[in-house]
A and B are shown apart, each in its own frame.
Chain A
């Protein structure tokens, strides 16, 4: 007989890879490690609230944990007044090995909220209802904002393409 897995663990095992990808897309590797661990911890504590389809719920937990980690880091940065912070690149500057710097620049020109909707749509492959669960908006509002964000992003990319033409 194939042994059965215990409840929380079976679900959490399924969530680990999507959560790792979610975090890898939004923060550095060390922070991603910490936040993944924290996310699982929070998921365990709140396991009674976990819905039958837990992925969007888990993303929402990870999103909050990541926001907390960012807040903590900013506080520490302020306290320590680290010199390196002065030389820190802008938040959305494309990484040196970014496969598509043009896309990164265009995403950076969207509002932070719209850029996140685009990421959840394209990278996490979520539908409006699931995105709504992650970001705490209504599905209807997500649909409208997503539509506008896509249109804006396309427009920005088209502008880039025009500018690059000889």
Chain B
């Protein structure tokens, strides 16, 4: 028996030969859990991720992540009410922009008329050592059902967004939703936390799910709504791709 014969025989007896590949989303969730130092068992095998929060809380929080514009018809999404905070000393704000907030919410984005803001304490530090960008949603005016946004345009996204990334909702705790960034068209962050202090549970018209992917854009460190942030779907992805072509 040669070495090759022996190896072939062992390979035929490989216990992992019938192992099914892990679904891509599941792998991402697992890696995201590691980056937050939250061990999670693979969901598709023998266990499931414990439900962290109720559905209502999920809706409320991600409504804050994906802020719909309160602007008038035909307007591009403007600065709603989402303000950036840099939460931990030594952590980058991840946007590629300097963070001069000193850890406090800034007012770089002026609220629209009819929109009120309230002070929000900086989110509590997490155990993660990764780069983190925190986008804090303070509050917003009730969404006017009559307001209609124009279809997202690549040119607008390119002009306004300093951050554009694909991210999975990893964890929702109270009014803080944590997203793991997988890919970035522009800007840089591993983790994004969004703090929602709004009372409005519905803004973007869809229910978020832990483990699902979203495309999120931010202008002046404010989440862009009006269709510019939403579920990771081909149409929206195409806008992102068009907005940030290969240089």
Interface residues of A (CB under 8 A from B): 1-6, 8-9, 12-13, 16-17, 20-22, 24-25, 29-30, 33-34, 36-38, 40-41, 43-45, 98-100, 103-104, 118-119, 121-123, 150, 153-154, 157-158
Of the candidates B27, B31, B39, B46, the one whose C-beta lies within 8 Å of that of A38 is B39
- CB distance A1 to B190 under 8 Å? no
What separation, in Å, do the CA atoms of A150 and B47 have in the docked complex? 38
- CB distance A41 to B39 under 8 Å? yes
Question: Which residues in chain B, 135-193, are within 8 Å of chain A measured between CB atoms?
Answer: 165-166, 180-185, 188-190
Of the candidates A2, A6, A20, A123, the one whose C-beta lies within 8 Å of that of B181 is A6
- CB distance A43 to B27 under 8 Å? no
What separation, in Å, do the CA atoms of A150 and B41 have in the docked complex? 36
Give the interface segment out of B10-18, B66-74, B80-88. B10-18
Q: 24 A-B Cβ contacts within 8 A?
A: A3-B185, A3-B240, A4-B183, A6-B188, A6-B189, A6-B190, A8-B35, A8-B190, A9-B180, A13-B28, A20-B22, A29-B45, A29-B46, A37-B30, A37-B41, A40-B34, A41-B34, A43-B34, A44-B37, A99-B12, A99-B13, A123-B10, A123-B16, A150-B3
| B215: nearest chain-A partner, CB-CB | A3
What separation, in Å, do the CA atoms of A3 and B185 have in the docked complex? 5
Q: How many residues of B contact A (CB 8 A)?
A: 50
Chain A residues contacting B15 (CB-CB under 8 Å) are 24-25
Chain B residues contacting A98 (CB-CB under 8 Å) are 13
- Interface membership of chain B positions 210-236, coded 1 if the CB is closer than 8 angstroms to chain A and 0 otherwise: 000000000000000000000000000
Question: Which residues in chain B, 40-55, are within 8 Å of chain A measured between CB atoms?
Answer: 40-42, 45-47
B56 within 8 Å of A by Cβ? Answer: no
Chain A residues contacting B33 (CB-CB under 8 Å) are 37, 40-41
What separation, in Å, do the CA atoms of A40 and B32 have in the docked complex? 9
A112 to chain B, nearest CB (A): 16
Residue in B10, B188, B245 with the greatest tally of chain A CB atoms within 10 Å = B10
| B10: nearest chain-A partner, CB-CB | A122
What separation, in Å, do the CA atoms of A50 and B183 have in the docked complex? 21
What separation, in Å, do the CA atoms of A109 and B21 have in the docked complex? 32
Chain A residues contacting B130 (CB-CB under 8 Å) are 8, 44
B93 to chain A, nearest CB (A): 15
| 9 cross-chain pairs, A with B, having the tightest CB-CB distances, nearest first | A3-B183, A40-B34, A122-B10, A21-B16, A100-B13, A37-B39, A1-B246, A24-B16, A12-B31
| A41: nearest chain-B partner, CB-CB | B34
Report whether over half of chain A's contact residues are helix, strand or loop; otherwise say mixed.
Answer: helix
Of the candidates A1, A22, A44, the one whose C-beta lies within 8 Å of that of B185 is A1
| A95: nearest chain-B partner, CB-CB | B15
What separation, in Å, do the CA atoms of A41 and B31 have in the docked complex? 8
What separation, in Å, do the CA atoms of A29 and B244 have in the docked complex? 43
B124 within 8 Å of A by Cβ? Answer: no
Of the candidates A16, A103, A119, the one whose C-beta lies within 8 Å of that of B22 is A16
- CB distance A103 to B31 under 8 Å? no
A119 to chain B, nearest CB (A): 8
Chain B residues contacting A104 (CB-CB under 8 Å) are 13
B7 to chain A, nearest CB (A): 5
| A104: nearest chain-B partner, CB-CB | B13
Of the candidates A6, A17, A24, A158, the one whose C-beta lies within 8 Å of that of B1 is A158
Chain B residues contacting A103 (CB-CB under 8 Å) are 9-10, 13
| B36: nearest chain-A partner, CB-CB | A44
What separation, in Å, do the CA atoms of A103 and B1 have in the docked complex? 13
A74 to chain B, nearest CB (A): 21
What separation, in Å, do the CA atoms of A37 and B45 have in the docked complex? 13
Of the candidates A22, A122, A158, the one whose C-beta lies within 8 Å of that of B11 is A122
- Interface membership of chain B positions 79-108, coded 1 if the CB is closer than 8 angstroms to chain A and 0 otherwise: 000000000000000000000000000000
Of the candidates B19, B37, B47, B245, the one whose C-beta lies within 8 Å of that of A21 is B19
